[in-house]
Structure 1
């Protein structure tokens, strides 16, 4: 089986878990317990690892869109026999509205078929394969016409349809015809085997309620600047990547979608990186509402815990788990034969010195919402991060791109060490007696002097990726975005020009470094911001409008784009790409706002 392009997938979310559904009507990825839990449908990573297809049995032309303000996906199939719509969603808890969305989601996948014209022959084909395809469940036809699938720790119940559902070998199938005005609805509910049975819902009523829940949440997204539709939709995607019980934001809903087809740079992104968390907070500040800042920063403080001598953790499980030991799912062939398929992420052990600065910067941006005096945990977190930076900024690290080679003195890491202490000095009146702004300011100034002396390479004529390196790195674009240097500083202008000239890959794309095979989308948006700050807003606007042509037909961005084919690459939807879009649109709207 040839797997669909990554851009063919739409994203469903109940703010606890995520699913991906292809243009041809196949749900090829669903982790029903939570985003980073085991998948029960994994055809995204192996043809035999489980799917649920619901589509016409005849050729069709597809149009699809989210219902406005939601992650409820409506796909219309145009066939020679007529037209039919399939609407897909992960069910919200009945009656949930606004910020209640996802707190107690029932783990039910809804699929509602509606006849629009003529008579269209349809087929349901469900092959559940829990534990990333390791388990083939027993399938039991029930007296009420439903089917129960049970294997290991997983129980699934498929209900609905045009008559009783039938088991055929190791899968469930049903053929039926939908005429104009008819509705045929299904729900697939998950539950742990040794607990209460799967929730039973009326799928039509549940779909309406879920749509209303998303629409209520959308009302909190009050952005009215440039590119409002793109920004609001990106904010909805970020909301969909948020694990509501804790407030953690998954970097993506998938694991091991490759940076290069057939390559081995395939990583599990279903966890919460503090870097992405901080960026998401800024994106919500721009595009949504700050009302939950207290809860989200409480998650960060409790996940980090008391800051000690060891590196500040880079990423966490969605409930703050620290140990994310990585292993190879050797039984899976990988997306388009791109191996390995990884579960877990070894970056949790890395030292990345930019992370404290990302978090303290987020606190600074939200300080007006956090009170004149911070609570104990938030205060201790900021002081602890500042003290660790003061003690460790001279060390080499793995950098924000999480290289797995030897540590280096990465430019962006040193700059964010400066950010951590600079913002901690500004926050000192709210940090209590342990704050040491005089010492922090002295170290901050020493870091700045070191970066200015060591970070610029005279032969290259630009700030480069690490001290002494001749290799450009797009992360140098962050210097003006965090206030380290103005964009019109002569050396910064030269760096922006060099990145645009040497790392630009055409069609609005920017690579991370010279040998990077694909455009890394957030780098394009960083360049947009730099051009605006350098006094070239029209060039920034033109670049933004080229970059956003890479959204798929339902407004989703993955991590990267192949500059030759235009194909999306990497895990999807990617929080960092949507964060970059929101930030760049805001910069074009309010050039002088930090």
Structure 2
């Protein structure tokens, strides 16, 4: 396996897909067609999965950062002989600005090497392996141009230095001195629509500068003025990087099959759009003061979900709304640190997860001013989600942790149904008639009574994960965030304190007792609950401690092993970044002295 650990990677994005660049200058993950497409670089999951590296020949140390307000990465390598900077980006279409970035990205990976001091010998290794390492491409080298083709995929590498064939791959050795710059680009194109490619290669410095301006123009629409402004702005960039721009779908994570435990079998494909992630991202982007595309994004959800019946609403979709995400194991990749299985697809698409009904309706309520006038498709969607919540809330489901063993009566799922019904009642005549509203209100009250009566476990002294269970579960932290109970309600506060006492290790929260690693989103949710309970100092300390566990580029995986393995799970993980943004807002909204002037309120959706 590559020497990079999960937390060693930087994230590049272009609105259709993303790439991971290690601290050693190696691009070890890229699926150039779209987020869930087949890989051409997958050394992240197997040494033979393909890579593209540029690095000094000598020993080096590294410092790196994104260019201000962008996902353009600058890595500085320091050697005994001098220093060089490598700048990496996935290109936007030329001139794309604001909310148009990423709609027609060209599939172009850009890299420059700039001498900062002294003289530094470097090596470049270009070793693509198509379709998750299954295919070694035909490769031809003509001077400073390399073409690789296999099946439907063609990659064209152009370089400003001579490139040589190295058996089935390509390589180069070159030296950069202070003030010198060398440029590289890899372009993806469909084999049978490739034409002649860009024979001379793109103008890499110009494309890098244009892409940086594209990111900055998007972020300029975000006017967040609450606490942790720089953190919120950066995390909103990451969420935008995980958004499939043509449809607006929010991808749960860039990768597949990064394990929750080294050597364990809990590894999944997260390169799809979960309704839960969509709705929480909408809330996070609203907090970051960018609700501009609410109508378009809700229209995507309506088109993806389609006509809702009493069958479970699918919880996840492909980036363009694809429904069938059947799971299969790959035998071509050994897995990160030999952790199997390596999967494409995710069988959770077949599950019932009732909480997503409420997540979507709640996001619509939060953004109701931006959905006015409401599209007919969105109105029908919200009406039918409320109907399904009223008719099915009493059924067991797989829960937000996507249990594959059995369905249970998870409290977080009941609260999600309550949230769908509560927000539908608030919408009132905008989405239903008087009879509908009365029916939803009656079902909402039934759900509330059931949770309060059956969810509390007197022996445990807390609400537990499911009716009749004695197992503490950090999913209960969503209860006050959803507004079902105030955080300082005696039983709710007892639950929060038990979670903090029994499920926290080194300042991070596990989802349940025995969870192999702590879970970043739950850790931020705990900070939110403390803030909602008025424990501002405790909330602040916890929030800042969890935020400090991001890697040096401010990126979060799904989980963290405080006992040595570090970040675990797929990376970067949208849910972790959403939870940080929403946690920052809860700390802002519940701060002593109230909300600063000029920011949004999370309850009214209007400027204060």
TM-score bracket, normalised by the shorter chain, equals over 0.9
Residue 318 of structure 1 corresponds to 319
Q: Equivalents in 2 of 1:51, 1:288: separation in Å?
A: 38
Residue 598 of structure 2 corresponds to none
Partners of 1:379 and 1:430 within 8 A in 2: yes
Q: Equivalents in 1 of 2:588, 2:561: separation in Å?
A: 29
User: Which stretch has the larger CA shift, 130-139 or 199-208?
Assistant: 199-208
Q: Equivalents in 2 of 1:580, 1:314: separation in Å?
A: 19
Partners of 2:73 and 2:87 within 8 A in 1: yes
Deviations 1:400-444 (A, max 9, x none): 000101100001000111000000011122115497000110010
Residue 191 of structure 1 corresponds to 189
Deviation at 1:217, TM superposition (A): 1.1
Residue 589 of structure 1 corresponds to 588
Residue 174 of structure 2 corresponds to 176
What SS does structure 1 have at the residue aligned with 2:193? coil
Deviation at 1:461, TM superposition (A): 0.6
User: Which stretch has the larger CA shift, 451-460 or 429-438?
Assistant: 429-438
Q: Equivalents in 2 of 1:270, 1:435: separation in Å?
A: 41
- Where in structure 2 are the equivalents of 1:140-289 lying within 5 Å? 140-142=140-142, 145-162=144-161, 164-197=162-195, 198=197, 200-289=201-290
User: Which stretch has the larger CA shift, 91-100 or 429-438?
Assistant: 429-438
Partners of 2:285 and 2:291 within 8 A in 1: yes
- Where in structure 2 are the equivalents of 1:75-86 lying within 5 Å? 75-86=75-86
Partners of 1:156 and 1:189 within 8 A in 2: yes
What SS does structure 2 have at the residue aligned with 1:436? helix
Unaligned runs of 5+ in 1: none
- Where in structure 2 are the equivalents of 1:290-439 lying within 5 Å? 290-371=291-372, 373-433=373-433, 436-439=436-439
What SS does structure 2 have at the residue aligned with 1:540? helix
Residue 23 of structure 1 corresponds to 23
Partners of 1:50 and 1:129 within 8 A in 2: yes
Q: Equivalents in 2 of 1:474, 1:434: separation in Å?
A: 37
Partners of 1:254 and 1:571 within 8 A in 2: yes
Deviation at 1:224, TM superposition (A): 2.0
Unaligned runs of 5+ in 2: 595-601, 604-608
Deviation at 1:2, TM superposition (A): 4.8
RMSD of the alignment, in Å? 1.2
Partners of 1:35 and 1:270 within 8 A in 2: yes
Measured at CA, do residues 522 and 435 of structure 1 come closer, stay the same or move farther in structure 2, by a change above 3 Å? farther
Deviation at 1:227, TM superposition (A): 1.1
Partners of 2:383 and 2:432 within 8 A in 1: no
Q: Equivalents in 2 of 1:62, 1:454: separation in Å?
A: 55
Partners of 2:2 and 2:46 within 8 A in 1: no
Q: Equivalents in 2 of 1:489, 1:212: separation in Å?
A: 48
Does 2:496 align with 1:496?
yes
Partners of 1:383 and 1:435 within 8 A in 2: no
Q: Equivalents in 1 of 2:574, 2:69: separation in Å?
A: 17
Partners of 1:304 and 1:313 within 8 A in 2: yes
Residue 599 of structure 2 corresponds to none
Q: Equivalents in 2 of 1:482, 1:315: separation in Å?
A: 21
Q: Equivalents in 1 of 2:519, 2:258: separation in Å?
A: 14
Q: Equivalents in 1 of 2:282, 2:459: separation in Å?
A: 38
Residue 564 of structure 1 corresponds to 563
Partners of 1:251 and 1:276 within 8 A in 2: yes
Q: Equivalents in 2 of 1:408, 1:299: separation in Å?
A: 30
Q: Equivalents in 1 of 2:565, 2:530: separation in Å?
A: 24
- Number of residues of Structure 1 aligned to a counterpart in Structure 2: 590
Q: Equivalents in 1 of 2:210, 2:154: separation in Å?
A: 24
Does 2:427 align with 1:448?
no
Deviations 1:295-338 (A, max 9, x none): 00000000000101210010000000000000001121000000
Residue 116 of structure 1 corresponds to 116
What SS does structure 1 have at the residue aligned with 2:109? strand
Deviation at 1:3, TM superposition (A): 3.6
Deviation at 1:161, TM superposition (A): 2.5
Partners of 1:2 and 1:336 within 8 A in 2: no
Deviations 1:121-143 (A, max 9, x none): 0111010101011010011123x
Residue 461 of structure 1 corresponds to 461
Q: Equivalents in 2 of 1:315, 1:220: separation in Å?
A: 28
Q: Equivalents in 2 of 1:184, 1:318: separation in Å?
A: 35
Q: Equivalents in 1 of 2:77, 2:141: separation in Å?
A: 30
Consecutive aligned runs of 4 or more in structure 1 exceeding 4 Å deviation:
432-435
Partners of 1:73 and 1:88 within 8 A in 2: yes
Residue 97 of structure 1 corresponds to 97
Superposition TM-score, scaled by structure 2 size: 0.96
Residue 48 of structure 2 corresponds to 48
Partners of 1:3 and 1:335 within 8 A in 2: no
Superposition TM-score, scaled by structure 1 size: 0.98
What SS does structure 2 have at the residue aligned with 1:83? strand
Deviation at 1:196, TM superposition (A): 3.1
Q: Equivalents in 2 of 1:434, 1:358: separation in Å?
A: 23
User: Which stretch has the larger CA shift, 215-224 or 407-416?
Assistant: 215-224
Deviation at 1:5, TM superposition (A): 1.1
Deviation at 1:28, TM superposition (A): 0.2
Deviations 1:133-183 (A, max 9, x none): 1010011123x6301000111100000222x32111111100000011111
Partners of 1:235 and 1:288 within 8 A in 2: no
